[in-house]
A = this chain, B = another copy of it.
Amino acid sequence: MRGFSQSIAFLRESPTRRIDAIRERLKREKRDIINLSAGQPGIPPPIEVRSLLAKQLVEDNSMELYGYTPSQGIIELREAVSEDLKRLGGIDVNPDNIVIITGGQEGMFATFMTILNPGDEVILLDPTYFGYKPIIEYFGGKIKRLGLSMENGFKIDIEKLKELITDKTKALVLVSPDNPTGNIIDRDTAKAIADLAVDKDFWIVSDEAYRTLIYEGEHTYIYRYAPDHVISINTFSKDPGIPGWRLGFIYGPSDAIPKLKLAAEEMTYCPPVIAQKFVAAYLRSEVRLKHLKYIIEEYRSRRDAAVKALREYLPESRFVVPRGSMFIFVDLSHYIRDSERFAEALLERYGVTVIPGTYFSDIYRSAIRISFVVESIERIRMGIERISNAINDLRGSL
> What is the total number of residues of chain A having a CB less than 8 Å from a CB of chain B?
81
Q: Is the CB of B4 within 8 A of A256?
A: yes
Which B residue sits closest to A9, measured CB to CB? B259
Question: Smallest CB–CB gap between A260 and chain B, Å?
Answer: 9
Which B residue sits closest to A262, measured CB to CB? B11
A6, CB-defined interface residue at 8 Å: yes
Which one of A45-53, A152-160, A347-355 is at the interface?
Answer: A45-53
Which B residue sits closest to A246, measured CB to CB? B272
Contacting B at CB under 8 A, from A273-303, are 273-275
- Which residues of B sit under 8 angstroms from A203, Cβ to Cβ? 2
Contacting B at CB under 8 A, from A255-276, are 256, 259, 262-263, 265-275
- Which residues of B sit under 8 angstroms from A106, Cβ to Cβ? 267-268
A135, CB-defined interface residue at 8 Å: yes
A55, CB-defined interface residue at 8 Å: yes
- Which residues of B sit under 8 angstroms from A14, Cβ to Cβ? 71, 265, 269
Cα separation A70 to B263 with both chains bound (whole Å): 24
A5, CB-defined interface residue at 8 Å: yes
Given known contacts A1-B169, A5-B139, what 13 new A-B pairs fall within 8 Å (CB)? Answer: A1-B202, A2-B229, A6-B117, A8-B263, A44-B65, A47-B61, A50-B57, A54-B54, A54-B57, A65-B244, A109-B266, A244-B274, A272-B272
